[in-house]
Amino acid sequence: MQPTVDRIAQPWGDRTPFGPGERWPVRVDTFLAPGTEAAAVERWVQSASLLHSNGDAMDIAVSGGRIVGVRGRSGDRVNHGRLGPKDLFGWQANGSPDRLTGPLVRRDGLLVACDWDTAMARVVTESQRLLRERGPGSIGFYTTGQLFLEEYYTLAVIARAGIGTNHLDGNTRLCTATAAEALKQTFGSDGQPGSCTDVDHADVIALFGHNMAETQPVLWMRVLDRLAGAEPPRLVCVDPRPTPVARSATVHLAPRSGTNVALMNALLHEIIRADRIDHGYLEPHTVGFDELREKVADCTPAWAGRICDVPARDIEHAAEILGGAQRLLSTVLQGFYQSHQATAAAVQVNNLHLLRGMLGRPGCGVLQMNGQPTAQNTRECGANGDLPGFRNWENEQHVADLARVWNVDPSAIPHYAPPTPAMQMFRYAEQGSIRMLWISATNPAVSLPDLHRIRSILGQEQLFTVVQDLFLTETAQLADVVLPAATWGEKTGTFTNADRTVHLSEKAVDPPGEARADLDIFLDFARRMDLRDKDGSPLVGWHDAESAFEAWKRCSAGRPCDYTGLTYRKLRGGSGIQWPCTPDAPGGTERLYTHGISWAAPEDCETYGKDLVTGASVSETEYRALNPHGRAVIKAAEYLPPHEDTTRQYPLQLNTGRTLYHFHTRTKTGRAPQLNAAAPDVWVELSPAEARRHGVAEGDLVEVASPRGSVRGRLRITGIRDGTVFLPFHYGYWDTPAGPRPGEAGGRAANESTVNDWDPVSKQPLFKTAAARLRLIERAEGAVSPAPTTTASAPADPSSAPSTTGGPTAVATQSTPAPEGDRP
């Protein structure tokens, strides 16, 4: 009988230890709906996870035309059969009874049911009117990190060459725009240098603002198995919270929010001071070292310690570990990306690897991580504010090449200014220049900062809003037209994970009612709009997912993200494959920059760069003078204090973030019983010292307020750094018993309180640097905090809260095949 584990209580499952350079053992995780026997499964359909960025390959179990479970794919390079809690249980949202099953249109102030022709005619009529009366700049598209590659590419062609608008961005602007920007600033182009397999070889793993255990749990399983094996790696963790990563780290640095650049400059100071530099790598492959050396000359650990409120000896210890590594892997995520000086801090991690020559070899890499499952495709396909194929909007040859692929005149592709980032799009909508906003698979009425303002914008009479989603979300409730979409398991397409691995996800079941695949909705819109190329042929010449993929391959040819060696047939049955995949590299490419820097030359680069402090663009002339030979650019940045710091009135730093059991605004995970039970409501985290200072205790109902709004939740006292208050950002109002109460005192959404500020380089909102205060609303009197006990939210006093468990309905099987030599 296969062993079983409660995967809510033990989210990372059992250990399968392995040593450096060894193959990660297989462990196949399976979960079937309670009461479903394995023999009842009629077929298993290939897919991968759509609830985080790791791309865990899985098979979908189908019985009676319904999804009844999932099983990890043992032969996949990413997960070797393992699945995380959201993988195992999140699929149940597909069958939720409140799925949208037909279109809705607003009539007399109310959303009412209609047919597809009525809904699409409304969208097309408004689009044509605005184009006629106000031009393409009056229409904007705000998409997601959860569609498939084929859908993003189709949307990009429609928006850029069909409508001719510069206003197309994804909610990836909120989570990993800084990842892309940091890579572009250093290497000239987007594209993840490292690979998840670098975990198998590294002797030091540094995690900068990356709670891997909760955001990429299967990758964390890989790290845990290394830690349990021979010659385990040492971990350096930078995080203000006591995450599972922090608890496993050799050194845990918990800086004040907004001080990451000061910390990184001190670490680089120590690397340079101790001459832990690979000069043989640095000199032929980089430019800019002298400026960095000068910039960090006075950034001693003592200096940074005062700014970051971190002991100088701990900074020195971390620098010693980083400087002594033989195989260094670094990962970066929201703790840097959503904080003050986001791009500047992330770029310093790249600088660390350039100084140490730690790129392009097993165990030596940078993973500027993604937060969403298909964020990489948003960026590749040009649906996030860049041109498709990592082309440079300022390079006329790049624009002409894209025009050739699409068979349009280059002037048809807007490139008169940078593509518009999401926060600016909402500003334009607020001002009235954008009059139509098409929102697909995202929920800005909960996920954007300063929610009172966002709701006000979406509720304007002058703004025509189309929402394309699975459920009647908080955003959909404000729409003029709601289009019911199919989701994962109900449509076919490809998507690419954080380390460039492309997976095929096949349709397993039909969507409910009249819901349609996003690709089909976009294709229908293009047909009804009669969008044409310069020869009069349909601009969008494909008709299904596979033909869209083939069209994308032509667009990607010769670019950094080259897919020309991939086909649906090649992706079926085996493992996912990393791009670039070409006829010359038919098996894909495990690591970038194995033979130097590839895409930084002025003729090739995706960007000429920006000033890391101001965000001002570097001109082509300046870039050519700086980097004529296409090397990696070492960019220095001075530390500047956050724009909103603590005061006597607002003495706490507000930090928002994620929990293991939920994804984004819980539209899916909140409908999976095991996941929702593990974290059913918003909570507030505070340190023991701050709890005493504020006169509050575990389980008390407290209110966190900023100059913008307030949130109420039950208190969890944790080992979080003093001076910080934490809120999970997932919770909105769709499932509150009393109905929505946005904007009232003591809301539920963390973004009622977050600051309306962004990074000057990546334009990513800053969700982790705001000032707040806390007050008691009512004593616990037996009430308990809904915060999980298995994660960074674990109580400082374990006896103060009941343990998080899933019970019988959260039990999954784990199958670990015997080694080859032990098999009969």
Q: Which distant-in-sequence residues (6+ apart) come within 8 Å of 451 by Cβ?
A: 445, 709, 742, 743, 747, 749, 751, 752
pLDDT in tens, 733-748: 999 865 445 556 789 9
pLDDT in tens, 478-515: 999 999 999 999 999 999 999 999 999 999 999 999 99
CA distances from 410 to 164, 427, 531, 558, 780 (A): 11, 28, 16, 19, 64
Q: What are phi and psi of 60, to 5 degrees?
A: -95, 130
The mean pLDDT of 521-550, rounded to a whole number, is: 98
**pLDDT at residue number 820:** 41
Would you say 523 and 543 are in contact if contact means Cβ atoms under 8 Å apart? yes
Residue 510, both tokens: 């039909």
Would you say 339 and 257 are in contact if contact means Cβ atoms under 8 Å apart? yes
Where in 355-463 does DSSP place strands (E)?
A: 365-368, 436-440
Helix (H, G, I), strand (E, B), or coil: what is residue 509?
coil
Confidence of residue 385 (pLDDT cuts 50, 70, 90): confident
The contacts found for 581-587 with CB under 8 angstroms, 24 or more apart, are 581/502
Bridge partners, 286 (sequence order): 632
Confidence of residue 824 (pLDDT cuts 50, 70, 90): very low
**pLDDT at residue number 822:** 32
pLDDT in tens, 643-671: 999 999 999 999 999 999 999 999 999 99
Residue 313, both tokens: 């000896």
In order, the DSSP letters of 673-731 are: HHHHHHS-S-EEEE-HHHHHHHT--TT-EEEEE-SS-EEEEEEEE-SPPTTEEEEES--
DSSP annotation of 118 reads H
pLDDT in tens, 675-724: 999 999 999 999 999 999 999 999 999 999 999 999 999 999 999 999 99
Length, in residues, of the chain: 824
Q: Which of 443, 445, 429, 440 is nearest to 466 (CA)?
A: 440
Q: What are phi and psi of 196, to 5 degrees?
A: -60, -25
Helix (H, G, I), strand (E, B), or coil: what is residue 519?
helix
Confidence of residue 613 (pLDDT cuts 50, 70, 90): very high
**CB-based burial, 328-351: b 16+ in 10 Å, e otherwise:** bbbbbbbbbbbbbbbbbbbbbbbb
In order, the DSSP letters of 454-506 are: HHHHHT-TT-EEEEEESS--TTGGG-SEEEEB--TTSS-EEEE-TTSEEEEE-
Q: Which of 665, 718, 763 is nearest to 173 (CA)?
A: 763
Residue 45, both tokens: 């359909």
How far is 749 from 712, CA to CA, in rounded Å? 9
Residue 220, both tokens: 């964390």
The mean pLDDT of 127-138, rounded to a whole number, is: 98
Residue 710, both tokens: 């307030």
Q: Which of 401, 408, 412, 407 is nearest to 557 (CA)?
A: 401
Helix (H, G, I), strand (E, B), or coil: what is residue 29?
strand
**CB-based burial, 10-24: b 16+ in 10 Å, e otherwise:** bbbbeebebebeeeb
In order, the DSSP letters of 52-116 are: SSS--EEEEEEETTEEEEEEE-TT-TTTTT---HHHHHGGGGGG-TT---S-EEEETTEEEE--H
Q: Which distant-in-sequence residues (6+ apart) come within 8 Å of 213 by Cβ?
A: 12, 220, 243, 244, 245, 660, 791, 792
pLDDT in tens, 557-580: 999 999 999 999 999 999 999 999
Residue 177, both tokens: 């725009």
**pLDDT at residue number 744:** 63
What predicted TM-score, i.e. pTM, was given to this entire model?
0.97
**pLDDT at residue number 742:** 54
Work out whether the CA dihedral 296, 300, 301, 307 comes out positive or negative.
negative
How far is 73 from 61, CA to CA, in rounded Å? 12
Q: Tell me which residue has tokens 């509050």.
A: 696
How far is 368 from 353, CA to CA, in rounded Å? 12
Q: Which of 450, 447, 449, 439 is nearest to 476 (CA)?
A: 439
Mean pLDDT of the chain: 96
**pLDDT at residue number 745:** 72
Count of other CB atoms within 10 angstroms of residue 567: 15
